[in-house]
């Protein structure tokens, strides 16, 4: 019995739980955006997954390992939108999105792997270790590199 529990624990640690990212894309009139290109990027701007919306404006990415990503949606006539997705420390869940395309570029909203409302400020960018140096001519601020900020 102990061996089975040990194996299950090792399996949980070695194979992280995957999630799905799905949703519906709408134009500025509230109608589904057909054949919009949906791309999931990592923070280095390398594409992870690509999909096109169906006639109802829906898309889905399956078996995604929870990590920091950008999701960009582009339609030549309806517009674009870009969001950032941040993982949670625990209990990452499938993400269901409802996005409205815009003609103008806006600041990306921040989503987590849960179905809560998006936020404007990225909590991953909170700087806790800022050092300040002040002299007669300048004020210098420095902090550790934040890999999620790239």
Q: Is residue 2 part of a domain?
A: no
> For the whole model, what pTM was predicted?
0.73
Q: Is residue 130 part of a domain?
A: yes
Residue pLDDT, tens place only, 88-106: 888 899 999 999 999 988 8
What b/e string do you get for 41-61 counting C-beta neighbours within 10 Å, with b at 16 or more?
beeeeeeebebebeeebebeb
The CATH number of the domain holding residue 91 is 2.60.40.10
Q: Is residue 9 part of a domain?
A: no
Report pLDDT for 105.
Answer: 83
* Domain, as residue range, for 47: 14-149
Q: Is residue 3 part of a domain?
A: no
Domain count, the chain: 1
Q: Is residue 93 part of a domain?
A: yes
Q: Is residue 114 part of a domain?
A: yes
Residue pLDDT, tens place only, 5-21: 666 556 555 556 899 99
């Amino acid at each position: 019995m102990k061996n089975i529990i040990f194996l299950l624990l090792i399996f949980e640690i070695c194979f992280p739980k995957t999630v799905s990212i799905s949703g519906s894309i709408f134009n500025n009139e509230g109608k589904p955006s057909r054949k919009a290109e949906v791309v999931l990027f990592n923070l280095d701007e390398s594409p992870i997954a690509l999909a096109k919306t169906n006639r109802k404006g829906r898309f889905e990415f399956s078996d995604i390992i929870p990590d920091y990503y950008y999701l960009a949606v582009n339609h030549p006539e309806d517009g674009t939108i870009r969001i950032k997705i941040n993982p949670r420390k625990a209990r990452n869940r499938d993400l269901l999105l409802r996005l409205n395309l815009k003609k103008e570029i806006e600041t990306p909203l921040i989503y987590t792997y849960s179905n809560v409302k998006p936020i404007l400020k990225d909590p991953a960018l909170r700087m806790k270790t800022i050092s300040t140096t002040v002299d007669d001519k300048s004020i210098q601020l420095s902090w550790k590199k934040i890999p999620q900020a790239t």
